[in-house]
Structures are given as C-alpha cells and as structure tokens.
Amino acid sequence: MKKVITQVRDQRTVLIVCAWLSIILISDLPDIICKHTSGAVPVWMFWSKTCFMAVFLIACLLYQKLRLLVPYAFVMLVFFMALSASDWLRTSAWWIGLIGDEQTPSFLLMYLRPFIRDTGVTIIVIMALWIVKKKRREFFLVKGQLDAPIEPVTWMGIKKPEPWRKFAWIFGIIAALAVAIPTILSLKPSAEVLKRCIQLMPAVILFAGINAFSEEVYFRATILSTLTKVIGKTNTILINVVFFGLAHYLYGSPPGVTGFLMTGFLAFLLGKSMLETKGLLWPWLIHFLPDVVIFFSYAIIWIRQT
C-alpha cells in the first residue's frame, strides 16, 4: 500500500513539473527575455511555441505517466494554432479585401475588426474544450452557482464563507478603480475629451464584454478545466496567474511589472471565482468592469489622435 501511494505521489510530481514547464515555455516569458536582451521578439518565437505544444501533446500520448495531460496539451495546441491562423488572416489579401485595413478613423471599426478574429479564436477553443470535456459545465461554459460561498482567504481579509454574489461586485469595482486611478492620472483627459468619450461608451462596453468573455474562455477555462483534477487547485491557479500575468507584461494596460502584478492578482480572483462557482458569469463580470476602464482609456487616446 505504501509503495502504491509513493508511485501515485511520484506520478503527480511528474505531472506538476511538466505542466509548469510547458506553461512557462509557451508563456510570454521567452518574449520578455528577448525584448529585454535584444530589443525585439523574434518572428519565429510564436511558431516555436506552437511546435513545442505539438511535441508536448505527442509525448503525452506516448508516455503513460503523462497521459492525464493530454486534454490540456490538446486544448492549448488548438489555442495556439487558432492564434496563428488569426495572425495570418490579419495580413491576408482576402481578409483585407473583405473587411478592410484596420487603420481607420472609426473607433468602432478599428477594434471591431480584430475582435471578429478574436471571436473566431474563442469559438475554436470552445470546440476543442467540448471535444475533451464533452459537457459545457465541465469547462465552465455555464453561468455557475451564483450564490456559491467564497472559500476564506486570510491574507485578503476573507475570514468566513460568504456568497460570491456579494464579492463579485466588490472585486470587480475594486479592480476597475485600481485601473481607473492611474489611468486618469496619466492621461489627464480634459472635460471636452471626456464628453466625446461618453458618446463612444456603447462601443467601449461592447469591446469590454467581448474581451472579457474571450479571455475567460481561452486564458482561464482552458487551463482550469483540464488541469485542476490532474495537478490540484493550488498549482492550477498559480499556473494561470503566471500565464495570464506574463501575457500582460509587454502589452498590458499598464505594462511591465505593475501590469504583471495587477493582472496576476486578477487572475487569482478570476480563477478562484470560476472554480468555486463552477461557471463563467462572475469571472466575466469581475473581468468586464476593469476592461470597461481600459477600453475607455483607448477611446481617450483615439480621440486625442483624431
């Protein structure tokens, strides 16, 4: 019996190490290192990550000890292939002829065009999740248990279980304010600019809603639904924190270490919410509120440039 327990523990360790190694290699960490050392990210970087996930999937299929990572490897490979297809589509003559160039004086069209491609990526990832998980609730594509209790987190001051219905709004508003305060201070928009931005609020809300949904599907649901039962809740959430945080290091709002810490902490809350409510609604809301602020700041910048 002791030998069996040891074997199970050893296999779990292998799974944890491989999951961590794979997520670090396909994260933006290699991009960040290249950016800081050579000043640019090589064009082959993204393709090398896609190739790595293909090799990793084959290894998971061939080796018994890694077999439990097959769903994770498959979904992440599909995600990266979909991103590759989207990037190719962006510069293809067919797409430009159909949709037009993204350099446009219209704020709505400027963001709507890339979001059409992003929605395509999201749909492909959902299909991949459906293949490996079979049911929507298994990859959190349901609203979830809205009154599910939040598990206490002492260092956050949460000492007793209370319904997520309450905490989701609190976390979302705090996250929005955390983004809004430095954004407003840095941009210092005039009253006239803010007045013009109000007219763009329907587009801002639309883009924030789409972005929050898409990122919750392919940044969160992919990892949480395929790894939690394999390597445990703690490791899975931490992996998601690192993956999501690094994804916003170079191109986040704000970027850099501050962006990594802010989005990493947000990923912790979102992952916790998704796992504890077993659904997408509250994570989407918490994500949506700060995204409204971010896209509102994009509207401010766009107005100043036009």
3-state secondary structure of 44: coil
- The phi, psi pair for 41, rounded to 5°, reads -95, 120
Q: Give the Cα separation of 180 and 174 in Å (integer).
A: 10
| pLDDT above 90 for 106 | no
Q: Is 101 left (phi over 0), alpha (psi -120 to 50) or beta?
A: beta
- Where are the strands (E) in 181-244, listed by range? none
CA 271 to chain centre: 10
- Polymer length in residues for the chain: 306
Looking at the DSSP bridge assignments, the partners of residue 149 are: 163
User: At 89, is the pLDDT very low, low, confident or very high (cuts 50, 70, 90)?
Assistant: confident
Residue 210's contacts (CB-CB under 8 Å, 6 or more residues apart) are: 115, 118, 119
pLDDT score of 71 more than 60: yes
pLDDT in tens, 253-305: 778 888 899 899 999 999 999 999 999 999 999 999 999 999 999 999 988 88
Average pLDDT over residues 86-91: 84
pTM of the complete model beyond 0.85: yes
Query: How far apart, in whole angstroms, are the C-alpha atoms of residue 219 and residue 222?
Result: 6
Would you say 69 and 230 are in contact if contact means Cβ atoms under 8 Å apart?
Answer: yes
Identify residue 94 by its one-letter amino acid code: W
pLDDT beyond 60 at 1: no
Average pLDDT of the residues of the chain: 90
The 10s digit of each residue's pLDDT in 22-38 is 999 999 999 999 999 99
Whether omega for the bond prior to residue 105 falls within 30 degrees of 0, making it cis, is no
Q: How many CB atoms lie within 10 A of CB 270?
A: 28
The alpha-carbon radius of gyration of the chain (Å, integer) is: 20
Q: Is the pLDDT of residue 104 over 80?
A: no
Residue with tokens 């019996």: 1
pLDDT in tens, 184-225: 888 888 889 889 888 999 999 999 999 999 999 999 999 999
SS3 163: strand
